[in-house]
Structure 1
Amino acid sequence: MRIPAVLTRRRWAALVAAGGAAAMAVAILVWPDDAPELPPLVPAMDYSGRTRLCLAFDDDDHGRATAATARSVIHDAADARTTNVQELAVPATAPKEASSYLAGLAAQHCNLIVTAGPVAANGVSALTAADPTLRFVVVDSPSNPQGPTVTVVKPQDLAQALPSQIVAVSRSVPSR
């Protein structure tokens, strides 16, 4: 078959390409839509504006037992949608060592630090002097650290005292 003189090779290639594109467009438009629906997109959660509660406890049997009680009270009182809870076993023996572990929790922007056991509580006094905005709940400590943002609680009174502290801290954290 002979190509008419009017249709040169370039025009012929352009005509074939346009015809192929038109055929594909028609095929796509009339093709049956039997593809499964995609699941909805999961919205990203912004954890940065949440209240952060931290539990620091002595790394011994007594500290872990006291922490277990505090942990259950924290999880019962804290709203899981607006509160992050972190835990740290403090393997320290001296107050200066304990205060460095607690300072690490403060550096992680903990809004309330709950200490369980005498060793973990020994570091509270140094931190309240360094940063008076840090809030502490000290559980089971014979030293009873003092300060305007320190609440000392006996283990048997924890279930009554800690929820009000958590609510107070949650209200003081600005929402984003």
Structure 2
Amino acid sequence: MKATAVLTGHRRTTFAVAVAVAAGGAVAVAALWWHHGDSNRSPLVPALDYSGRTRLCLAFDDDASSRSTAETARSIVRAATADRTANLQELTVPAGAPEEAASYLAGLAAQRCNLIITVGPASATGVPALSTADPTLRFAVLGSPTSVPGPTVVIVDQQDMTRALTSQVTAITASAPTR
């Protein structure tokens, strides 16, 4: 006696759907396996900045005095980069949280800023930790104590802000590759 399985009606449709799902799953697994070998290649274009321009970052305290100085610094930086050789990014640091300033500035460093300009005492409190952790980061510190250490940290006097910032920005946009 021979046993024969005959699929009829509803069972035939269910079997066809199951075969189609299994075949689709096998194709998906094969495609993922085939593309997995490409995961170690570096991207052809950096993901953070497609322009290839120097990135300047302005971090300022959230108070009236710092906002006014930041507005002046913004004007100076824009005038120094009138030929569109740099992007300017801004970040407001809460004035009441100087202990968190390093994490705010670390966010700018993670975005590959070539120069971080800080305005106000709260913003400046994060500079020593970052300049020690990454000696390639360059800082211009405005309106803060003069005891901020680091070989790539420039203290900018309020009276000499135009000349000092213009020379910093011009030097970086002329020579520094994007980070």
Shared topology, TM-score over 0.5? yes
Deviations 1:94-132 (A, max 9, x none): 443001000000001100000011110110000001100
Alignment partner, residue 75 of structure 1: 78
Alignment partner, residue 87 of structure 2: 84
Equivalent residue in structure 1 for 2:112, among 109, 113, 121:
109
For the residue of structure 2 that corresponds to 1:148, the secondary structure is coil
Q: d(CA) in 2 for partners of 1:105 and 1:118?
A: 17
Alignment partner, residue 161 of structure 1: 164
Residue 146 of structure 1: how far off its partner (Å) = 1.5
Instruction: Show structure 2 runs of 5+ residues with no match.
Output: 1-48
Letter in 1 for 2:173: S
Identity %: 62
Letter in 2 for 1:49: G
Would you tell me which structure has more helix in proportion to its own residues?
2
Task: Decide which moves more: 123-132 or 80-89.
Answer: 80-89
For the residue of structure 1 that corresponds to 2:112, the secondary structure is coil
Instruction: Show structure 1 runs of 5+ residues with no match.
Output: 1-45
Alignment partner, residue 53 of structure 2: 50
Q: Work out which of the two has the higher radius of gyration on C-alpha atoms and give 1 or 2.
A: 1
Alignment partner, residue 16 of structure 2: none
Task: Decide which moves more: 46-55 or 95-104.
Answer: 46-55
**TM-score, length of structure 2 as denominator length:** 0.68
Q: d(CA) in 2 for partners of 1:156 and 1:82?
A: 26
Deviations 1:55-107 (A, max 9, x none): 00000111101101111111111144221000111015344300100000000
Aligned pair count? 130
**TM-score, length of structure 1 as denominator length:** 0.69
Deviations 1:40-65 (A, max 9, x none): xxxxxx74411000000000111101
Alignment partner, residue 154 of structure 2: 151
Q: d(CA) in 1 for partners of 2:154 and 2:99?
A: 20
Find runs of 4+ consecutive structure 1 residues off by over 4 angstroms. Answer: none
Deviations 1:107-166 (A, max 9, x none): 011000000111101100000011000000000002531210000012221101011111
Letter in 1 for 2:137: L
Q: d(CA) in 1 for partners of 2:144 and 2:119?
A: 8
Q: Name the CA shift for 1:119/1:143 in 2 (closer, same or farther; >3 Å).
A: farther
Q: d(CA) in 1 for partners of 2:59 and 2:163?
A: 19
- 2:108 matched to 1:97? no
> Contact between 1:58 and 1:120, CA under 8 Å: does it hold in 2?
yes
Letter in 2 for 1:148: P
Q: d(CA) in 1 for partners of 2:99 and 2:87?
A: 27
Alignment partner, residue 67 of structure 2: 64
